[in-house]
Structure 1
């Protein structure tokens, strides 16, 4: 455990918030367990900051990694803090310092000591991006004396699906307080999807309009060479196909170099375009040997694959390509992204393939029938329109509750 982690856990046990409490303005305490929940919270926080610039926003996070991630991405003026442990003195110290007008929890964090203290202090509790598995439902039902008061006291619950709504109501949430709004994670990604950056990459990599592009991202294990083999097969029938290959970890880059060298396939590294400025591209394979660029590179893709899914890793962020209006293909190992898979498969823009061969056959048909590729694009854009906007509806719920506690006009910004 390094120095930062020790400080993080010490602050969770003994919160120290000197000067944290803001007077004379609305105070919102938002809580996210870790990186995934923070991702959904960011879109809500940005819109809250626009609608109520004078409000004091505190975001607590339950893991060191999530806390660092939040501090890198929240708007200026939002205070990111380690979440107090669910112990009486930790919760009391934090609650006294912040004195929130509203407590907002993302996804599924229901701590008895914390929620009991909020209830005694009359602080409304709102659940956003709410989700509840059957396993969690069964667990909470085993301890009704502890958890039923938590669910019955929720002021609002904005959940991801009808099934989540049904389970929360079964635990005691009043049906008139539950709304199925979806997930704000898509809005966070849409906020990041800057068309100017997409255009910059298209120009930098010399990708003319009409040239089909295959982007294979977050590749793990054998997926790197598997996707290169798929590319080589497709290239035989589509000579102008461009392939962009991004391993999840940079120590796998040499494996791609070695395979390409053995096959006699010319390639270039992404870093060469970053370091040398504008220049002519001399190969149709680009190996991504720098971190932090994959999200924007997805914008160029006509055929997009998200890795960690053809091998038993559990999948990676399959929502990222969709933020650019792209359909995304992935393998069957989806334990880490089941929720996202359900969202995308319902919309027809997340396509699960069983194997490398299955992926190759599907992509070959798309390249042979451009109208089907166009239909994929239109479906993805339509799905994006349908999935986006959740954060705006969630913020409207929060502002309504705030208005009941704090008089004052809401900014239209």
Structure 2
């Protein structure tokens, strides 16, 4: 078969310094393999090598999230379909051995057989910025916690003259007070050394706190430009929204169905029935950080959302346990988030609520008493600082029913459909 009609598949075993490429035909015949440096000239060499045998159907790349990230971007820009390949399984390695050429050929064969078919994250947009910012934030958070723990440990064994001074202080006040101290004396004196170390740790704590504030501001800026409506969902803040976007990636079209998204975030129900017992449990697969983010949304709603609390009470009366109830809620939240990612919808405009209340001469306290909520809840809702569709709907309906400033009829909560 001539080169013009030959169809090939490439498999690439990636490493820190080199990438090994193997090329096979669409019938599985091994054609050639070669090693290239993991650098700019090497990426061009890989492209020329795999396109030199004929039409490239796909390229299976190992480590698209680490050593193969840049190579995946280069091949995608060249119009070559990139498929993410998992490392060779242990059974195949025991039978066939382990080497870079074997791994490269096996990557190509896994694409040909259909065992590998996942589209990797593109890592070339705003979500990649969120990812690196979150990576920095995670280390800064751990460092800040470690500093606070070290200060408490040192104070536990410090001389009484130091311990008595800071015994009743809260953590923020303690750090502020330690930073203002001016230790003096010889470093060989335990009292002086202890006071000096505590001051330096307090300064470090402040720097980490400022770094975290800067990172959060940058995350907020990226989210405002890239996905502002995601945070309109009840319980979804900057931290949760950024994590979910990082999990999905810059090319959300690769997650084609709601069920795939549920599996990706680890909330897909799995049958766990036996005998007369019929039940499901949550998948332990998927991105655990995304699962943690979904878990936080559920916890917030179970505590603050009237609709969710009513649902939890009803399911408890049916004999469901907390884990089973949270499993249903996680699946519901995942469905809501997926729909928002695919078809963004803004939260209702709350600015009209304040105008309508002022037009009818009603005070914030009167509205809060009628709706059985705190005035600050309505104030934050009116200013757009929080989003709660249930409270918004109740507030809007109550305002529409008021003809004078003194008509105060308590409005019952509206029950909306929740998962069964």
Report the TM range for the smaller structure's normalisation. Answer: under 0.3
Q: Please identify which structure carries the higher strand content.
A: 1
Q: What TM-score do the two structures reach when normalised by structure 2?
A: 0.22
TM-score by length of 1: 0.23
Q: Higher RCO, 1 or 2 (CA under 8 Å, sep at least 6)?
A: 1
Q: Which has the larger radius of gyration?
A: 2
- Which has a greater percent of helix? 2
